Amino acid sequence: MPTLAPPRLLAFTVLSFCVSAAVHAQVAPPPTSSEWGGVGLLQTPSARMAEEGDISFTASHNSPYSRYNFSMQPFPWLEGTFRYISIANRRYGPEWLSGDQNFKDKSIDVKVRLWQESRLLPEIAFGIRDIGGTGLFSSEYLVASKRLGPIDASLGLATGYIGNRGDLENPLTFIDDRFRTRPSNNRGLNETGQFGIESMFRGPVGVFGGVSYQTPWDSLILKLEYDGNDYKHEPQSASRSNVIEQKTPLNFGLVYRPNANVELTAAWERGDAAMFALTIRGNPGLAHAAPKPLDPPPVKRVQSAGAAVETLAESNMPSNADNAAAHDWEKLSSELLDNAGFLVQRISRKDKELQITGYQLKYRRPGDSLDRASRILNNSLGSEYSWYTLQTNRLGMPIVDASFSRDAFLRYTEGKIGDEELKRNVELNAPSMETNDGEELFASRNRPYGGGFSIGYRQNLGGPDGFILYQIAANYSGSAFITPNLWLTGTLSQNLVNNYDKFRYDAPSRLPRVRTDLRKYMKASDVTLPNLQLTASRRLGRDTYGLAYAGYLEWMYAGVGGEILYRPIDQSWALGGNVNWVRQRDYDQAFGLRDYQVTTGHATFYYAFDMKQRIVGSLSVGRYLAGDTGATVNIARSFENGVTMGAYATKTNVSSADFGEGSFDKGIYISIPLDNILPRSTNSRTTFTWNPLIRDGGAMLARKYALYNITSERDRTFFYDNMLED
């Protein structure tokens, strides 16, 4: 087993001196990004994690590499990074295709905290760099970090790129001799997607580490690092003479943080190269919703519970059924819509319970709407009703009944009971199977048509013919309801600006071109009809829902299909399935069809794993658009403010060679409620998805409606946890 050479011993001596010389201060440096995006030193990771809910973008340059990294911290113990690397000393493709564009490599990193730091023991994390990608920079590592006053010291071991120096023999050779060497990653563009699990943890082990020092100036952090890579085994070094000179394994840098959201890093690396990086970070997961100055204020409560009874008695008004007919229900419905965001479709009564059927249009949190609605109902109706029930009905299907005690809400607003007592007087139940349950008091006028304009954006990143290909379009979407359970919906799109004229590379495919004909769909016409379909919905049982649809289902496919979902209201799981017969549309996205057709569909199991941290996962098994069969796993963390961070991966019976670059379909996404950003309440949200490649394998039909989303208000835990949130 080789020993550390004198220069390496000198490096660790310097690091030890820095640790012992600076422990006079007490404040440790905050976690900062490495030039690879995740929390770390310069070239190497540390065991530290960013704050839960954090996202960051880091752009760095160290010749010949420019890195563009996006990192998410969905849990305190999990960090994920998606990255593009531009390699300046090679071209992406032939000049006719990519011109002088540099080669772009795509990768995903994962780091997991194994042990949280204690007074005596360090924080320990395990990570994988460039997992499931081309493998050009792949590495596996174990790293420990310990705070010592103003110093945060890290020490780690790595196989692969981070440990390419190979200081130690791989201890796994005692199990199998194949761990002694690591397969070469010197492959060309057409060979990518072949680096997999069989190469993990193989090859010699490299030592890396370093320190971050928080200077007396709060905005300045110094970094000293011992790099575990000797740069003699860079990607394609054999055929491209890509060996990079390293005069010393020590890297020195400083980080300037003008505020908690910006990091500017400058470093001197390898003894002869400058590195510069910019990191912009924020924390949408723990962010509070923006103030709502454009919302109408909640109506003032004009009387207490006792006063309401007295007022009713003194007025000599008829009570119960006679009094019900005297109310201005249309005015009440208008107030519920304007102030509580609840669109009323029907009002009925059952004994001393008032039932209001409709759906929420405005407020993301149930408590906001319930509080506003209770004030309006109490002020308008007096004491003839003991319970109010808001019956949510979406797309003609009863979803959930939220019932609350009138008296409990009055006593809560007077400060006579607390949150827990109020929650015990609010119920979430499955709607009755009886149609038109109760005596009807009011039915709103039908609104058979609705629609509006929006701006659409589509992009492809990291292709050989342009790093960013994009389109901005103006869309008009509308729906015409024939009955509450049958409607026609459609979208007309006008291209405004795009640069898809650069899109010339369709990529080789051994599968039917179910998605990689993207270029032809983008260029055939400026006016398109992405969607035009007839949809029918039905509640099939207490906890079972169904959809049937036919038409132009998405921009590439037309056909017929159906979905069914079983979602018990008192359970954390749901089970659904869909089946679709589709045919490929003409490239102009008008009314014509192409020859390719396929039957596709999936069975999906949904589960909420952790009610405290809201881990929601799904497993879909079935047949995809290219006729391949397999499974898609989707795991997401949903924060209390509605922000969702997730990742997905699809693996089918298509081989890596047939799939092409990337080996399998995968991506990460973040979904943010617009309510957190805008000055007016809304239940809309925006989603950003980073999918490294558009390939034909593992491609799903992009259905317009999904029953699991439509029935989201059946989530009992979300309802109660957020009901009284400020």
Query: How high is the pLDDT of residue 190?
Result: 41
Query: How high is the pLDDT of residue 645?
Result: 94
CA dist., res. 59 & res. 44, Å (int): 16
Residue 509 binned pLDDT confidence (cut-offs 50, 70, 90): confident
Residues 69-108 as b or e (16 or more Cβ within 10 Å = b):
bbbbbbbeebbbbbbbbbbeeebbbeeeebeebbbbbbbb
Q: Do the strands 250-259 and 220-226 form a parallel or antiparallel pair, or are they unpaired? A: antiparallel
Using the predicted structure, report yes or no on whether residue 699 has a pLDDT greater than 90: yes
Lowest mean pLDDT across 168-172, 628-632, 712-716:
712-716
Query: How high is the pLDDT of residue 465?
Result: 64
Query: How high is the pLDDT of residue 132?
Result: 64
Q: Which helix (H) or strand (E) holds 378?
A: helix 366-381
Q: Which helix (H) or strand (E) holds 665?
A: strand 665-673
Q: Which of 103-117, 210-224, 402-416 has the highest mean pLDDT?
A: 210-224
Query: How high is the pLDDT of residue 303?
Result: 53
Query: How high is the pLDDT of residue 463?
Result: 66
Query: How high is the pLDDT of residue 326?
Result: 64
Collect all residues with Cβ–Cβ distance below 8 Å to 297 and sequence separation of at least 6.
none
Q: Quick one: tokens of 564?
A: 């069914």
Query: How high is the pLDDT of residue 423?
Result: 79
CA dist., res. 206 & res. 159, Å (int): 6
| Higher-pLDDT residue of 545, 242 | 545
Q: Which of 301-305, 316-320, 719-723 has the highest mean pLDDT?
A: 719-723
**In this structure, what DSSP letter does residue 190 have?**
G
Mean of pLDDT values over 495-510: 78
Residue 145 C-beta-side C-alpha neighbours within 13 Å? 25
Q: Quick one: tokens of 685?
A: 């949200």
Q: Which of 715, 705, 716 is nearest to 485 (CA)?
A: 705
Using the predicted structure, report yes or no on whether residue 590 has a pLDDT greater than 80: yes
pLDDT in tens, 275-301: 999 999 999 999 988 999 999 998 887
pLDDT in tens, 203-243: 999 999 999 999 999 999 999 999 999 998 887 554 445 67
Q: What is the pTM of this model?
A: 0.85
Mean pLDDT value across the chain: 86
| Higher-pLDDT residue of 398, 236 | 398
Using the predicted structure, report yes or no on whether residue 437 has a pLDDT greater than 50: yes
Collect all residues with Cβ–Cβ distance below 8 Å to 585 and sequence separation of at least 6.
552, 555, 556, 557, 558, 592, 593, 594
Q: What are the backbone dihedrals phi and psi of residue 314, each rounded to the nearest 5 degrees, phi first?
A: -65, -30
CA dist., res. 161 & res. 158, Å (int): 8
Query: How high is the pLDDT of residue 369?
Result: 86
Residue 216 buriedness (CB in 10 A; 0-12 / 13-18 / 19+): exposed
Query: How high is the pLDDT of residue 25?
Result: 47
Query: How high is the pLDDT of residue 324?
Result: 52
Mean of pLDDT values over 22-38: 81
Using the predicted structure, report yes or no on whether residue 693 has a pLDDT greater than 90: no
Residue 499 binned pLDDT confidence (cut-offs 50, 70, 90): confident
Lowest mean pLDDT across 214-223, 501-510, 614-623:
501-510
Query: How high is the pLDDT of residue 323?
Result: 54
Query: How high is the pLDDT of residue 239?
Result: 47
Query: How high is the pLDDT of residue 255?
Result: 98
Query: How high is the pLDDT of residue 3?
Result: 47
Residue 380 C-beta-side C-alpha neighbours within 13 Å? 21
Query: How high is the pLDDT of residue 723?
Result: 64
Q: How far apart are the first and last CA of the chain?
A: 61
Residue 318 binned pLDDT confidence (cut-offs 50, 70, 90): very low
Mean of pLDDT values over 699-707: 96
Collect all residues with Cβ–Cβ distance below 8 Å to 720 and sequence separation of at least 6.
423, 426, 428
Query: How high is the pLDDT of residue 90?
Result: 73
Using the predicted structure, report yes or no on whether residue 502 has a pLDDT greater than 60: yes
Using the predicted structure, report yes or no on whether residue 157 has a pLDDT greater than 80: yes
Collect all residues with Cβ–Cβ distance below 8 Å to 505 and sequence separation of at least 6.
93, 97, 98, 463, 464, 465
Residue 364 binned pLDDT confidence (cut-offs 50, 70, 90): confident
| Higher-pLDDT residue of 451, 412 | 451
> What is the number of other CB atoms lying within 10 angstroms of the CB of residue 548?
15
pLDDT in tens, 328-349: 899 999 999 999 999 999 999 9
- C-beta of residue 534 within 8 angstroms of C-beta of residue 550: yes
> What is the number of other CB atoms lying within 10 angstroms of the CB of residue 434?
7
